[in-house]
């Protein structure tokens, strides 16, 4: 029993999942309204965009990098989808534009980090600003309104299957798919190796540069898709869309067990992390706690997550010098 | 033991220079299938360079390596592995977050469905099979984090097995192992040889060499001194081949008369690291802590300086007992520590020379609230002259200087505090001969002015040339004390390695 328990706790996603259950149960007892279908719907809606972006971020963080540009990219693509579609082009072309923007940002990030070996924190901070700057220039003071949103996206954003919003189902499917890839494809396993021990991964003959580039490219592409979900969710977009989203995404990843030190974590863990953060935000609302406390609680949660991580990983035996007397 | 006439690996005429330092100077080595071959030599003899060449890290300047009848392609770790050479390092470089099975197959995972998916079950059973063959109870599903060094080496050996390596190099594998783990490693090594691999065994422990190996090659000053069958050699022969030189005027030691006791260590012990360590260091005296890497010397130095705690014993500085684990108190008591890893622990690489030298004496340079960079620069410049420092401008960042000059700056930084005891760990590792002599002269000068020096060094000539007294450590125990007049290389090596007859 003890062994099973310690194995379970060793699975990184389990403590987060338990915390999520705890939040739902405690809040549900205090305010039954919270565990209703509409309460769940609120959480799912709120999490769809972040969960999508977490997929790309997990690829990047796993190899001990970070992608700060995802919020700007998602916001920009949300706007561009509306703009292109509003100009009477089809959904297909709108989505292609979104994907192209995402891939372009990802390719630039990937090139600078992988081939020029620049630090990803700085590179993606720069691209966060550059994309946001271009976005502001393109959008000006304009707003994409409901009638410019492609009708298919609008439909997905408004409707649900058994109280589960379609956009959450899409995000969930993406997370499952990415989790499978992360577990079972060789390039993805290399990402774990690269994050776990960078010099050793070079020695093991892993094509580090190529893998790094493609991970950033994937993060860019996912950000483009995230833009589509963002537009579907809010039915509008302006130059502030997606502002600061990257921080929520990174927080969800970290809380969900995707350590910024690299080498560990899964997309579904990040999804659980996102659900936990969103549930807490909404639980605090349901419990009548002031909105202002919600950010502080998220902060405490982040610190708890990394503290737990350190406790679990830092128990290494000291090297012995004295011979064991036999 | 099968020994065939044609060697599986031949290295001949290998030379390699690093800057002005000649690391290899016509080294040669030949290995046969099924043998366990010891490669011996002092630190700096060129063993590591030779091994790193085989591992694909370095490329020779000239010379030839023939592996299995073909020219060995140098300069790529991946290619080296594919050609059949595996290197097991003293501290293996595993992926702590991955399972042991993934570690064994890192970068070349087994795959299902024509290479679409990772074959987890296949990798796990293959790794399990390898561990079984090696006779070790490791779980391929568990993560590598927290694994003992002995087990990490086994994982590396399993990797070598899975690659069908023809040559398996073990670089000081036993340095951090317990005696039981050493036994297990020996069994594994014999098993590898029985499967016709050539095993190269590097160790400073001569008893192990004579127990395990079938042949011995000794290197000195980048060249091969000789090769022989282990059974035909004695420990004395081998030590002679390893040392074989006179101590030159690299060591301008000034004869001093030791003064009062500065540092007194009594029955110091730390569980698992060292035990029953007692010694004094007098003013004006240079005391060397000799011994193999990993024998506990640095740990003692860290305990004295207060970086690490200790479980038993006392440390007294100028008749005042020091608190356990307080570097600031140790500094206040007049101890200065120059660490071995100066890039990480001793210097602010991006800061200027002036800032680095004056950082330990800021209090003295302070005028009211403000620091004056002029006075920082003055202090640094005067030390620069004493130390014959080579630099363009005193405000240049330290990272632009050579290793030798960086070491001088670390020294200056600590000497500027006017300590009464200087602990210096590997004072001249990795610096060129000329600078070495300057560092030695400086240490000798400071000692003659009354500074007590505790020097940790793995370089025998340095120990013999500089120290008034030599304390030899082996496996966490102080095994011998030698005065300057009675110390010889043979005696120190014998004590440090546990050789019985010399």
Give residue B179's pLDDT band: very low, low, confident or very high (50, 70, 90).
Answer: confident
- A184/B108 touch (CB, cutoff 8 Å), yes or no: no
- A185/B118 touch (CB, cutoff 8 Å), yes or no: yes
pLDDT for residue B501 is more than 60: no
What does the pLDDT read at residue A86?
82
B411: enclosing H helix or E strand = helix B403-415
Structure tokens of B45? 């003899």
Reduced to 3 states, what is the DSSP secondary structure of residue A321?
A: coil
Instruction: Give the pLDDT confidence of A70-123 residue by residue, as tens digits.
Output: 999 999 999 999 999 888 787 888 889 999 999 999 999 999 999 999 999 999
The mean pLDDT of B30-44, rounded to a whole number, is 88
Q: ipTM for the complex? A: 0.83
Strands ordered across the beta sheet of B421-425:
B335-338, B421-425, B452-456, B286-291, B469-474, B477-483
Residue matched to tokens 């033991």 = B1
8 A C-beta contact, residue B473 and residue B296: yes
pLDDT for residue B316 is more than 70: yes
The mean pLDDT of A2-13, rounded to a whole number, is 65
Residue of B nearest to A203 (CA): B77
- B272/A320 touch (CB, cutoff 8 Å), yes or no: yes
Give chain A positions within 8 Å (CB) of B109. 186, 189
Give residue A324's pLDDT band: very low, low, confident or very high (50, 70, 90).
Answer: very low
Q: What is the mean pLDDT of chain A?
A: 88
Give residue B77's pLDDT band: very low, low, confident or very high (50, 70, 90).
Answer: confident
Top-confidence residue, A110 or B173: A110
CA-CA-CA-CA torsion for A269, A273, A279, A281, nearest 10 degrees? -170
Q: Where are the alpha helices (DSSP H) in A197-290?
A: 198-203, 208-234, 245-255, 267-286
Q: How far is B446 from chain A (nearest CA, A)?
A: 33
Instruction: Give the pLDDT confidence of B252-288 residue by residue, as tens digits.
Output: 778 888 889 999 999 999 988 899 999 999 999 999 9
pLDDT for residue B248 is more than 60: no
Indicate if the alpha-carbon torsion angle B125, B130, B136, B142 is positive or negative: negative
The mean pLDDT of B96-121, rounded to a whole number, is 88
Beta-carbon contacts of B358 under 8 Å, excluding residues fewer than 6 positions away, are B365, B375, B376, B379, B380, B413, B416
- B295/A321 touch (CB, cutoff 8 Å), yes or no: yes
Give residue A6's pLDDT band: very low, low, confident or very high (50, 70, 90).
Answer: low
Q: Name the residue among A197, A313, A317 with its Cβ closest to that of B95.
A: A197
- A205/B108 touch (CB, cutoff 8 Å), yes or no: yes
Taking alpha carbons only, the member of B41, B458, B42, B495 closest to residue B289 is B458
- B107/A204 touch (CB, cutoff 8 Å), yes or no: yes
- B145/A324 touch (CB, cutoff 8 Å), yes or no: no
Structure tokens of B29? 């080595």
Q: Name the residue among B95, B180, B272 with its Cβ closest to that of A200.
A: B95
pTM of the model: 0.76
Give residue B432's pLDDT band: very low, low, confident or very high (50, 70, 90).
Answer: low
Pairing label, strands B167-171, B85-88: parallel
Distance of CA B491 to the CA centre of its chain: 20
Q: In B348-476, where do the E strands start and end?
A: 366-367, 370-371, 421-425, 452-456, 469-474
Q: Name the residue among A184, A197, A322 with its Cβ closest to that of B96.
A: A197
Q: How far is B237 from chain A (nearest CA, A)?
A: 27
What does the pLDDT read at residue B3?
47
What does the pLDDT read at residue A313?
61
Distance, CA of B42 to CA of B459 (rounded, Å): 8
Residue positions counted in chain A: 326
Give residue A322's pLDDT band: very low, low, confident or very high (50, 70, 90).
Answer: low
B108: enclosing H helix or E strand = none
Residue matched to tokens 């698992």 = B272
- With a pLDDT cut of 70, the percent of chain B lying above it is 92
Instruction: Give the pLDDT confidence of B334-349 residue by residue, as tens digits.
Output: 999 888 776 666 788 7
Give chain A positions within 8 Å (CB) of B108. 205
Reduced to 3 states, what is the DSSP secondary structure of residue A171?
A: helix
B71: enclosing H helix or E strand = strand B70-71
Q: How far is B151 from chain A (nearest CA, A)?
A: 13
Give residue A316's pLDDT band: very low, low, confident or very high (50, 70, 90).
Answer: very low
Top-confidence residue, A47 or A90: A47
Residue of A nearest to B82 (CA): A205
Give chain A positions within 8 Å (CB) of B80. none
Give chain B positions within 8 Å (CB) of A319. 149, 176
Q: Name the residue among A183, A204, A315 with its Cβ closest to that of B106.
A: A204
Residue of B nearest to A62 (CA): B97
> In A, what residues contact B, Cβ < 8 A?
183-186, 189-190, 192-193, 195-197, 199-206, 262-264, 313, 315-324, 326
- B296/A322 touch (CB, cutoff 8 Å), yes or no: yes
What does the pLDDT read at residue B49?
87
Q: Name the residue among A197, A203, A321 with its Cβ closest to that of B296.
A: A321
Q: In chain A, where do the E strands start and end?
A: 160-161, 164-165
- With a pLDDT cut of 90, the percent of chain A lying above it is 58
The mean pLDDT of B212-216, rounded to a whole number, is 95
> In B, what residues contact A, Cβ < 8 A?
77-78, 81, 93-98, 102, 106-109, 111, 115-118, 120, 145-146, 148-149, 176, 178-180, 272-275, 294-296, 299, 475-477
Give chain A positions within 8 Å (CB) of B102. 189, 192-193
Indicate if the alpha-carbon torsion angle A125, A126, A127, A132 is positive or negative: positive
Give chain B positions within 8 Å (CB) of A313. 96, 145
- B98/A185 touch (CB, cutoff 8 Å), yes or no: no
Instruction: Give the pLDDT confidence of B232-241 residue by residue, as tens digits.
Output: 998 878 878 8
pLDDT for residue A227 is more than 90: yes
Q: How far is B85 from chain A (nearest CA, A)?
A: 13
List of domains in chain B:
9-94+147-243 (3.40.50.300), 251-334+419-502 (3.40.50.300), 348-418 (no CATH)
Burial class (CB in 10 A: 0-12, 13-18, 19+), B322: buried
List of domains in chain A:
35-288 (1.10.3470)
Instruction: Give the pLDDT confidence of A133-164 residue by residue, as tens digits.
Output: 999 999 998 999 988 989 889 899 999 998 89
Taking alpha carbons only, the member of B66, B63, B28 closest to residue B223 is B28
Q: Which residues face B425 on adjacent strands?
A: B456
Top-confidence residue, A140 or A321: A140
Distance, CA of B454 to CA of A6 (rounded, Å): 47
Interface probe with B: pick from A180, A322, A324, A325, most Cβ of B within 10 Å: A322
The mean pLDDT of B299-310, rounded to a whole number, is 90
Distance, CA of B484 to CA of A312 (rounded, Å): 50
- B96/A203 touch (CB, cutoff 8 Å), yes or no: no
pLDDT for residue B389 is more than 90: no
Top-confidence residue, A100 or B417: A100
Which of A74-78, B381-385, B386-390 has the highest average model confidence (pLDDT)? A74-78
Give residue B43's pLDDT band: very low, low, confident or very high (50, 70, 90).
Answer: low
Q: What is the mean pLDDT of chain B?
A: 85
Give residue B247's pLDDT band: very low, low, confident or very high (50, 70, 90).
Answer: very low
Lowest mean pLDDT among B39-48, B146-155, B207-216, B395-404: B395-404
Strands ordered across the beta sheet of B62-67:
B21-31, B9-18, B62-67, B70-71
Q: How far is B295 from chain A (nearest CA, A)?
A: 6
What does the pLDDT read at residue B395?
82
Distance, CA of B451 to CA of B437 (rounded, Å): 19
pLDDT for residue B174 is more than 70: yes
The mean pLDDT of B114-120, rounded to a whole number, is 84
Residue of A nearest to B477 (CA): A322
The mean pLDDT of B10-16, rounded to a whole number, is 93
Q: How far is A223 from chain B (nearest CA, A)?
A: 25
What does the pLDDT read at residue B343?
64
Which of A22-31, A225-234, B367-376 has the highest average model confidence (pLDDT)? A225-234
What does the pLDDT read at residue B158?
92
Instruction: Give the pLDDT confidence of B400-411 residue by residue, as tens digits.
Output: 777 777 888 888
- B94/A197 touch (CB, cutoff 8 Å), yes or no: yes
Q: Which residues face B287 on adjacent strands?
A: B454, B469
Top-confidence residue, B309 or A317: B309
What does the pLDDT read at residue B221?
82
């Amino acid at each position: 029993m003890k062994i099973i328990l310690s194995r379970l706790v060793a699975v990184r996603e389990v403590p987060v999942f338990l915390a999520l259950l705890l939040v739902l149960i405690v809040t549900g007892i205090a305010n039954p309204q919270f565990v209703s279908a509409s309460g769940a719907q609120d959480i799912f809606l709120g999490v769809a965009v972040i969960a999508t972006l977490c997929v790309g971020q997990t690829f990047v963080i796993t190899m001990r990098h970070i992608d700060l540009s995802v919020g700007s990219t998602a916001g920009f693509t949300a706007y561009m989808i509306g703009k292109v579609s509003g100009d009477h082009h089809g959904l297909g072309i709108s989505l292609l534009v979104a994907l192209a923007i995402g891939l372009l940002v990802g390719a630039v990030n990937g090139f600078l980090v992988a081939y020029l070996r620049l630090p990803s924190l700085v590179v993606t901070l720069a691209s966060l600003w550059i994309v946001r700057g271009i976005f502001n220039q393109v959008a000006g003071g304009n707003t994409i309104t409901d009638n410019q949103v492609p009708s298919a996206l609008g439909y997905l954003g408004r409707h649900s299957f058994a109280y589960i919003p379609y956009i959450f189902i899409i995000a969930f499917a993406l997370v499952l798919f990415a989790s499978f890839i992360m577990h079972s494809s060789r390039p993805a396993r290399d990402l774990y190796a690269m994050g776990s021990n960078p010099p050793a991964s070079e020695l093991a003959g892993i094509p580090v540069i190529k893998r790094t580039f493609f991970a950033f490219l994937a993060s860019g592409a996912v950000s483009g898709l995230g833009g589509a979900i963002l537009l579907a969710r809010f039915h509008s977009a302006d130059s502030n869309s997606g502002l600061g989203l990257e921080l929520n995404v990174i927080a969800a990843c970290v809380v969900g067990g995707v350590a910024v030190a690299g080498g560990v974590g899964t997309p579904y863990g990040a999804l659980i992390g996102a659900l936990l953060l969103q549930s807490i935000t909404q639980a605090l609302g349901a419990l009548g706690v002031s909105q202002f406390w919600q950010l502080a609680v998220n902060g405490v949660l982040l610190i708890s997550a990394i503290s737990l991580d350190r406790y679990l990983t830092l128990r290494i035996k000291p090297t012995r010098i004295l011979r064991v007397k036999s | 033991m099968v020994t065939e006439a044609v060697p599986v690996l031949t290295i001949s005429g290998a030379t390699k220079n690093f800057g002005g330092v000649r690391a290899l100077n016509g080294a040669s080595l030949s290995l046969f299938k099924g043998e366990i071959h010891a490669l011996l030599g002092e630190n700096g003899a060129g063993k590591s360079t030779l091994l790193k060449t085989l591992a694909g890290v370095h490329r020779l300047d000239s010379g030839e390596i023939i592996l299995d009848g073909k020219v060995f392609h140098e300069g790529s770790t991946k290619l080296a592995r594919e050609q059949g050479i595996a290197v097991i390092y003293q501290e293996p470089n595993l992926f702590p977050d991955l399972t042991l099975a993934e570690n064994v197959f890192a970068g070349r995972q087994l795959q299902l469905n024509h290479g679409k998916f990772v074959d987890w079950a296949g990798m796990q059973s293959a790794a399990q099979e390898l561990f079984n063959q090696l006779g070790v109870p490791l779980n391929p599903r568990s993560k590598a984090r927290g694994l003992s060094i002995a087990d990490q080496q086994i994982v590396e050996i399993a990797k070598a097995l899975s690659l069908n390596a023809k040559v398996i190099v073990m670089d000081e594998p036993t340095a951090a192992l317990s005696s039981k783990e050493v036994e297990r490693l020996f069994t594994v090594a014999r098993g590898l040889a029985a499967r016709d691999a050539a095993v190269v065994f590097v160790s400073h422990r001569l008893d192990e060499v004579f127990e395990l190996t079938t042949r011995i090659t000794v290197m000195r000053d980048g060249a091969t001194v000789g090769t022989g069958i282990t059974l035909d050699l004695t420990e004395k022969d081998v030590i002679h081949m390893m040392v074989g030189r006179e101590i030159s005027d690299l060591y301008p030691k000034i004869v001093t008369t030791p003064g009062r006791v500065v540092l007194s260590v009594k029955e110091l012990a730390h569980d698992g690291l060292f035990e029953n360590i007692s010694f004094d260091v007098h003013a004006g005296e240079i005391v060397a802590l000799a011994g193999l890497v990993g024998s506990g010397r640095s740990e003692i130095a860290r305990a004295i300086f207060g970086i690490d705690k200790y479980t038993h014993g006392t440390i007294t500085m100028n008749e005042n007992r020091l608190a356990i684990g307080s570097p600031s108190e140790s500094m206040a008591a007049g101890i200065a520590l120059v660490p071995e890893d100066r890039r990480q622990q001793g210097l602010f690489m991006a800061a200027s020379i002036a800032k680095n030298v004056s950082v330990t004496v800021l209090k003295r340079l302070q005028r009211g609230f403000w620091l004056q960079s002029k006075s920082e620069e003055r202090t640094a410049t005067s030390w620069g002259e004493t130390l014959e420092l080579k630099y363009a401008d005193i405000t240049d960042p330290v990272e632009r200087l050579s290793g030798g000059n960086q070491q001088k700056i670390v020294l200056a930084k600590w000497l500027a505090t006017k300590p009464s005891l200087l602990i210096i760990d590997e004072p001249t590792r990795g610096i060129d001969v000329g600078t070495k002599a300057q560092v030695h002269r400086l240490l000798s000068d400071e000692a003659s002015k009354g500074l007590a020096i505790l020097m940790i060094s793995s370089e025998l000539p340095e120990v013999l040339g500089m120290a008034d007294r030599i304390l030899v450590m082996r496996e966490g125990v102080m095994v011998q004390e030698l005065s300057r007049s009675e110390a010889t290389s043979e005696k120190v090596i014998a004590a440090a390695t546990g050789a019985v007859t010399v």
